[in-house]
Structure 1
Amino acid sequence: MRTFAKGSHLALVSAVFVLGGCAIAPVTDDVAHISASNIARQVRCETRHAVIEALIGYLASPDNNRNKKKLDDYSFAIGNALKQAYRDDPESIRAFDPSQVTGFARTVTKLLYGTGIAYYYDLTGLETNNVDPTANLIRPTPITSLVTLGLSGNFDRQRQNEWSFTITDNFGNLVQKTSESYCENHLARTEDYAYPIAGKVGIAKLIKEFTLMSLFENLDELNKDVTTVKKGPPSMVQQLQFTTTIGGGATPTIVFAPTGPNLQATNVSFPVTASRKDTHQLTVGLYLDKGEAKLLDAARGPIYEGSLITASGGRAELGAAMAVQQFLALKIFKPAI
């Protein structure tokens, strides 16, 4: 029984080892060493950088300038000056205003600056720590027979924490009212494939597609009733979900040599497992302010033949948040097939 007590001590040591890495309320800091507030800041900075890249990329593009209807010479010159100034001093971008350019370029830049964006975060962490000891006992009898007894137990624990919050922005305010220092050391330059929410999440592609579809594809307002077509300011929603699972285990086992006729342990094992599952959902909604949407009718005609979106709806940030809310509602009530 002394050796059995040693095995129990080993199980306790293993349990302490597993418990040492536990969190009562699992959060992103535990694994990626980045807080929820810093994640939100990184995504905001990624959005700001994507808007600036889209703005300069359009205004300083020789390809766009070849088609004077898309980018006139005066706006092209402004774009190149803006590109050089931003390269020399990133803070200078805050002084740019869409009214500085002319023609269709003003429509495009006003579209960018008049777009609201809402980010809905759902960050869930789940930790599991299990200790499941087993023991096999035997007792030889005076006759040639053997009494055996198998024992098992479990000490299993799970802890889950979920944070959800919404942040709203306006592209124009992000560029003009957010300083470059705000994003210093808070701009993710690359994707993080192990823990995606901690790296770049791909906002630039969403902004590009939203702008192109708003201008040329009759992108409409998100509809609560998907069976009807409702003209309105364009909106677009993208939902990203990242899941990272980390786990491992060990099974220490002690084997005893039976002696004597008493009930005794032949082997004792202490399987220990630990896992961490992080599920992060980011829903991003874009919405064009109705005042800027009205400008598209007049400017888009010479560029693209076809009817244009009409103005309706609320302001940019509220509209973006409502687009996200409607998207989430559609997901909830979507019939399972």
Structure 2
Amino acid sequence: MRNSLAFSAVASFLLLSGCAISPYQEEVTGVSTPIVVSRIRCETRDAIRGQMAAYLLLQEDDKVALAKGYELKNRKIPYSEIDLRPLSRDLKNTIASFARYAVTYDFTFDGTITSNINGSLTPTTTFSAGNRGFPFTARMDRSRQNIQTFRETDTFGDLLKKTPSDYCPDPHENTPRNYIYPITGSIGMAKQLRDFLSLKVFSNLAAEEGPPTFTSTITFTTMMRGTADPTIVISPVLNTTTRSGGYGVTSERSDEHKVIVGFAAKASDMSEAEVAQFLAPGTAFQTPRGTVEEVASEKAVNESILRFELGRQSGPIIVNESLLSLF
């Protein structure tokens, strides 16, 4: 009886991770999907501010540019309190061009749970002339999968000027790296943005039509596995039926978290009034929706999916018309 209880406890413990009907990422990460998205958007926002600061700090002969660069670099100063209008005309136009840049994030959260139980039981009848066994085995396999996909698109201007303080604190601290479930922490958006801007400025990044674009696919896979192999044995008593058996219990969970990031550079012009509005302190600025840059960033993500994702699928592929609408 005691051995039976021990087996039940072990089996129950291993199967807890596999008891969910539909596996969601927040069950293992402890972070809801909207919070994951907000952290990545806020990380992008901070990366934009950092690149603006770095650019101004390169203007070593311009005291005003250096002063504003240090203000941007100092995260203790909220962005909404920084006035960039004193910059020279050329620098104002360059910094204001960031407002038109766009970024699209295409998320895929794929969770799979596999729970297997392999069992064997051997009833043994004891006779005066010896024992006779009647072995049999049983197996139960369960597998469940849940895939969530969704997309967010931002302009740099809206991220910097329109993000509510309760959504993305200003000044804020980026979430640290999470080495078990990286999607819930910092995923390196500053590096992605820096690569995009470097290619645009120094490598003549261009497109056949529309603004230059850049995409990056970031994938994190985490797998957890638990096993147990308890054995049940009841001591034989003469002229009675005894049983012995063993059960192999395996519970495995695999989570693949993917985000495809697509950047698009400035293509449309801004009026002097829009430039001044973007550079002024406060939040009175809004980019019109559906800009050329937003459409280009979404198209870049779609092209990445068609080139690198659909090509790996076996069998026939059905492409939704909405995916092709931007081509």
- Normalising by the smaller structure, the TM-score range is 0.7 to 0.9
Q: Which residue of 1 aligns with 2:266?
A: 289
Q: Which residue of 2 aligns with 1:69?
A: none
TM-score by length of 1: 0.75
Among 59, 68, 73, the alignment partner of 1:81 is 68
User: Which sections of structure 1, spanning at least 5 residues, go unmatched?
Assistant: 67-71, 222-229, 294-312
CA RMSD of aligned residues (A): 3.1
CA contact (8 A) 2:178 2:185 kept: yes
For residue 93 of structure 1, report the CA deviation from its aligned partner. 3.9
Taking a change above 3 Å as real, the CA distance of residues 89 and 245 of structure 1, as seen in their structure-2 partners, is closer
Among 241, 248, 256, the alignment partner of 2:226 is 248
The answer as to 2:17 corresponding to 1:23 is: no
Where in structure 2 are the equivalents of 1:39-78 lying within 5 Å?
39-59=36-56, 61=57, 64-66=58-60, 73=62, 76-78=63-65
TM-score by length of 2: 0.77
For residue 119 of structure 1, report the CA deviation from its aligned partner. 0.2
Taking a change above 3 Å as real, the CA distance of residues 99 and 238 of structure 1, as seen in their structure-2 partners, is farther
Q: Which residue of 2 aligns with 1:296?
A: none
For residue 335 of structure 1, report the CA deviation from its aligned partner. 7.1
For residue 181 of structure 1, report the CA deviation from its aligned partner. 3.8
Q: Secondary structure at the match of 2:159?
A: helix
Q: Secondary structure at the match of 2:167?
A: helix
Q: Secondary structure at the match of 1:154?
A: strand
Give the letter aligned to residue 212 of structure 2.
Answer: P
The answer as to 2:211 corresponding to 1:211 is: no
Which digits, 9 at most, give the CA deviation of each residue in 1:156-206, with x for residues without a partner?
322211110000000111111124442239854321111100110011011
Give the letter aligned to residue 119 of structure 1.
Answer: Y
Aligned-pair identity (%): 26
Q: Which residue of 1 aligns with 2:162?
A: 177
For residue 50 of structure 1, report the CA deviation from its aligned partner. 0.4
Taking a change above 3 Å as real, the CA distance of residues 88 and 37 of structure 1, as seen in their structure-2 partners, is closer
CA contact (8 A) 1:113 1:171 kept: yes
Give the number of equivalent residue pairs.
Answer: 292
Q: Which residue of 2 aligns with 1:225?
A: none
For residue 252 of structure 1, report the CA deviation from its aligned partner. 2.0
Among 168, 180, 188, the alignment partner of 1:194 is 180
The answer as to 2:211 corresponding to 1:233 is: yes
CA contact (8 A) 2:210 2:292 kept: no
Q: Secondary structure at the match of 2:145?
A: strand
For residue 33 of structure 1, report the CA deviation from its aligned partner. 0.8
Q: Secondary structure at the match of 2:39?
A: helix
Which digits, 9 at most, give the CA deviation of each residue in 1:4-29, with x for residues without a partner?
xx766655554444444432221122
Which digits, 9 at most, give the CA deviation of each residue in 1:96-130, with x for residues without a partner?
56895432x34542442221000000001112223
Q: Which has the higher contact order (CA 8 A, sep 6+)?
A: 2
In our comparison, the structure showing a higher alpha carbon Rg is: 1
Give the letter aligned to residue 170 of structure 1.
Answer: T
Among 124, 131, 136, the alignment partner of 1:138 is 124
Among 134, 137, 144, the alignment partner of 1:149 is 134
> d(CA) in 1 for partners of 2:86 and 2:21?
53
For residue 261 of structure 1, report the CA deviation from its aligned partner. 5.0
For residue 269 of structure 1, report the CA deviation from its aligned partner. 1.8
Q: Which residue of 1 aligns with 2:294?
A: 317
For residue 333 of structure 1, report the CA deviation from its aligned partner. 4.7
User: Which sections of structure 2, spanning at least 5 residues, go unmatched?
Assistant: 271-289, 314-327
Taking a change above 3 Å as real, the CA distance of residues 110 and 212 of structure 1, as seen in their structure-2 partners, is farther
Give the letter aligned to residue 324 of structure 1.
Answer: V
Where in structure 2 are the equivalents of 1:92-131 lying within 5 Å?
92-93=79-80, 96=83, 100-103=87-90, 105-131=91-117
